[in-house]
Amino acid sequence: MDGVERPAWAPGDIDLGRPSIARVYDYWLGGAHNFAVDRMVADKVLADVPVLKSVILNHRAFLRRAVRFLLDQGIRQFLDLGSGIPTVGNVHEIAQAVDPGARVVYVDIDPVAVAHSRAILTGNPLVNVLQTDVRDAATVLKSPEVLDLLDFDRPIGLLMVALLHFVSDEEDPRGIVASYRDALPDGSYLALSHAGYEPGEWNPAWNEARNTYNRGVSEMTYRPRQEVEALMTGLDLVEPGVARLPLWRPDSPDDVDEGAHRFMSFGVVGRKR
């Protein structure tokens, strides 16, 4: 776009005039890999729904707790779909702190997320990055990035954190999850977080934020609890099942916010038998 200077870290082929989910999210998380156009949308959405900042932080906190839980179950290889722009507490950092031999493949559609992931992962042979659309499960699962690093004879931790609300009903999120689930070896896990609400509880304050987001960045689909649970079909849910983000295995009782319902998001982990 004219008048916008391209920073050295930005790949040459991206449009600096169009916001992206990954960069808007990066801005909310306090990262530096975003442009004025991303910040404009992000600020507008946040002005409509100030609690969103906590929501985002709670998705990241869920990611951290879920990865630790999977490590406790013996999982040592992870496929992180919609991994985003690396920020503090990425999956490989959490996993390799527990086991330096842990393997991670990051997948994202966003060129900035992928370029920045590659940059920070140089020299880490147990982590790969793949730029592709995760809705195309066959391409992801057949990619050299995945096949070279992940052993499909051993359980894998599949992560879909704050991802599937960007997949519309028409794009068949259940079918997409099933394609990955069916390819995973028994004993694998899926950890998923999703924007959602209890039936009858839709908060009208969210309409404006959703509309701004949908117009500016990407269509977002909030799903009621039972639809989030339906995404986990074929998996045994670990306690506490589908839960408000702060209520999914909190690190300490202090983490459990009385206003957990405000977070309008769920977290869940399931195991393939």
**What backbone torsions phi and psi does residue 266 show, to the nearest 5 degrees?**
-120, 155
User: Is residue 63 a contact point for ligand SAM (CB under 6 A)?
Assistant: yes
User: Considering only residues 60, 92, 116, 210, which one is a binding residue for ligand SAM as defined by CB under 6 A?
Assistant: 60
Residue 147 is encoded by which pair of tokens? 């096949």
134 belongs to the binding site for ligand SAM (CB under 6 A): yes
Applying CB under 6 A, among 59, 92, 103, 225 the residue interacting with ligand SAM is 59
Q: Is 12 exposed, middle or buried (0-12, 13-18, 19+ CB in 10 A)?
A: exposed
Residues 24-43 touching ligand SAM, rule: CB under 6 A, are 25
**Six-digit token string for 187:** 């004993």
Q: Whose CA is closest to 192, among 242, 133, 134, 251? A: 242
| Residue span 149-178 as binding mask against ligand SAM, x where in contact by CB under 6 A, dash where not | ------------xxx--x------------
The yes or no reply on residue 133 touching ligand SAM (CB under 6 A) is yes
Q: Residue 227, by phi and psi: left (phi above 0), alpha (psi -120 to 50) or beta?
A: alpha
With CB under 6 A as the contact rule, the residue among 109, 115, 126, 183 that binds ligand SAM is 109
The answer to whether 91 and 104 have CB atoms below 8 angstroms apart is: yes
User: By CB under 6 A, is residue 110 in contact with ligand SAM?
Assistant: yes
Phi, psi of 71, deg, nearest 5: -60, -40
Characterize the bridge pairing of strands 265-271 and 243-244: antiparallel
With contacts defined by CB under 6 A, name the span among 20-28, 37-45, 118-126, 145-153 that binds ligand SAM: 20-28
Which span sits near ligand SAM by CB under 6 A: 32-40, 69-77, 130-138, 245-253?
130-138
* Gap between the Cα atoms of 110 and 94, Å rounded: 23
Residues that bind ligand SAM (CB under 6 A): 21-22, 25, 59-60, 63, 82-84, 108-110, 113, 133-135, 161-163, 166
